[in-house]
Chains A and B, each alone.
Chain A
């Protein structure tokens, strides 16, 4: 820590202890306890009960569908995020600011509205939906619709992680690479990627966490058909409404596990970045 000792506001032991105490207490109540509750409830019927809840036919299917959706969404948004970050941090052009504002839209839009947007466009009486219907292609109430809304909801995360970092790192290293004769791909793979890989990893993990956990938007477009279009968060809702609380929390514990992994990765990434 800082070598010099400054006299600063709130230094007195009384203030310090009471503020730390208050913050810790509130965090315990507000964040730790809910997290603990998930696992306590999930294991309320013991290990065997937990396993059988997870191995429930519909829950298993929901896990599979959720992973499948994430598997399609995450790479798509990763590629988009990297290109967008490269575009807005490495070039100056009119409309650059607008572009960075536009990608914040999914943050600001209610997930239900997000789902509705796609339902209106691609639903059976939407413009595109009607046209596709003539060819017997149905996007809504099936997995393509789920993937589409998930892409919408999670598209800002990778770019949002990369843009500040790449801005701060500047373009000098890439310029040096070009002067030394590197081609576009060589430049990205050898110069840019090693510098952003940790932030990219966190962006991807965060995208994944949100893709896996998206609820509002997906529930609009999925139709929640058990064993067909039910993702894990929707399965949690169904189980909970069926008064199968333990089953709901068992399924939730998987999602909470992914959330915890995300937090750990973030801590590691921040630690690595602070070392440089």
Chain B
């Protein structure tokens, strides 16, 4: 096939041989990945949306605007916001301390930072509930101050903050590590105070990472279930989270209602994921100057 065409070179790219891949395994890895993603991710997800779409708009609307459900949206979103805001501040502090200072126990502190990711949520849940219970290690002192955490929305915030703590730390840390000392030196040599340098030089570089970490933390908190239910008290209209609402509907064998609420939650999660991805893409592009 090779030699005959040589005298008259094929004029169009169409006749070019199918691009050979130099490294092996393209077909195999593409096949396995697509098969796995379709079967494990896409099929179940589309199943949910088809189920939710099948129930008719009116019924769907009725289910997802049920006052108890609406109350749970509010509780979840507010608690997740509070938790991720807390994590933005706490996470920045921890990342800063881990990167900038040398002190005994730094490595240990760094290692333990991932505990919330590694610890099963149910274990985190009963642990926090026990700590903050009326007679718990923390609860007894907080009670004296008149602060109740267990079985209140505040407990939800604590649980969400715990499980999503590492996000901000781990997104800010690498950015801090890569900052060149020269920028700060330049600003200081121009007479700026520490606080000014922090605000004008460091923050503009840091905040995209903080926002990304905060958004990830928020997304995770929205769906948190295991850690929350033990400490939340789960009283209707006050301290029920969305995930729990879905669970409650399931236990009532009300599958359509559960799917409807789940479809709402799923849509929000996917949108958040998309926004975070696009945002990260932009932000990375800007950093790399592309």
Contacts and interface: CB of A to CB of B under 8 A. Distances in A.
A6 B223 contact: no
Nearest to B180: A6
Interface string B254-283: 010011001001100110111001000000
A40 B256 CA distance: 44
B272 A117 contact: no
A263 B198 CA distance: 32
B124 interface: yes
B197 interface: yes
B50 to A, nearest CB: 9
A240 B48 CA distance: 32
A219 B229 CA distance: 13
B101 interface: yes
B48 A117 contact: yes
Given A152-B44, A184-B25, A266-B111, A120 B259 contact: yes
A172 to B, nearest CB: 11
Name the residue among B23, B94, B119, B202 with the largest chain A CB count within 10 angstroms: B119
B250 A119 contact: yes
A116 B250 contact: yes
Nearest to A11: B194
Nearest to A127: B47
Contacts of A214: 120
Given A110-B242, A116-B258, A213-B122, A80 B32 contact: yes
Interface stretch (A45-53, A130-138, A193-201, A245-253): A245-253
Contacts of B194: 9-12, 15
Given A80-B33, A84-B29, A31 B115 contact: yes
- By secondary structure, the A interface counts as helix
A178 B23 contact: yes
A91 B223 CA distance: 34
B27 to A, nearest CB: 10
B10 to A, nearest CB: 24
B172 interface: no
A109 interface: yes
Contacts of B138: 29, 33
A188 B25 CA distance: 10
A118 interface: yes
A108 B23 contact: no
A99 B41 CA distance: 11
A34 B262 CA distance: 31
B51 A120 contact: yes
Given A110-B242, A233-B226, A262-B118, A117 B123 contact: no
A9 B202 CA distance: 9
Contact of B96 (A10, A109, A174, A267): A10
Contacts of B97: 19-20, 23
Name the residue among A19, A35, A105, A152 with the largest chain B CB count within 10 angstroms: A105
B40 A155 contact: yes
Interface stretch (B57-65, B102-110, B145-153): B102-110
Nearest to A41: B130
Contacts of B219: 107-108
Interface residues on B, range: 35 or more
Contacts of A110: 222-225, 242-243, 246, 265, 269
Contacts of B93: 19, 22-23, 26
A126 B255 CA distance: 10
B126 A236 contact: yes
A104 interface: yes
Interface in B11-42: 21-26, 28-30, 32-33, 36-37, 40-42
A87 interface: yes
A7 to B, nearest CB: 6
Interface stretch (B66-74, B181-189, B232-240): B181-189
Given A19-B96, A117-B44, A6 B184 contact: yes
Contacts of B226: 111, 215-216, 233
A236 B122 contact: yes
Interface in B155-190: 162, 165, 181, 184-185, 188
Contact of B118 (A22, A108, A259): A259
A27 B98 CA distance: 12
Contacts of B122: 213, 215, 233-234, 236-237, 252
A165 interface: no
Interface string B73-86: 00000000000000
Contacts of B250: 116, 119, 220
Given A9-B198, A23-B94, A259 B277 contact: no
Interface of A: 1, 6-12, 15-16, 19-20, 22-24, 26-27, 29-35, 37-38, 41, 79-80, 83-84, 86-87, 90-91, 93, 99, 101-113, 116-121, 123, 125-127, 148, 151-152, 155, 171, 174-175, 178, 183-184, 187-188, 206, 209, 212-216, 219-220, 233-234, 236-237, 240, 245, 248-249, 252, 255-256, 258-260, 262-264, 266-267
CB-CB nearest 8 A-B residue pairs: A213-B120, A110-B223, A184-B24, A117-B44, A6-B181, A216-B225, A215-B226, A259-B118
5 contacts: A24-B105, A27-B109, A31-B165, A183-B24, A259-B118
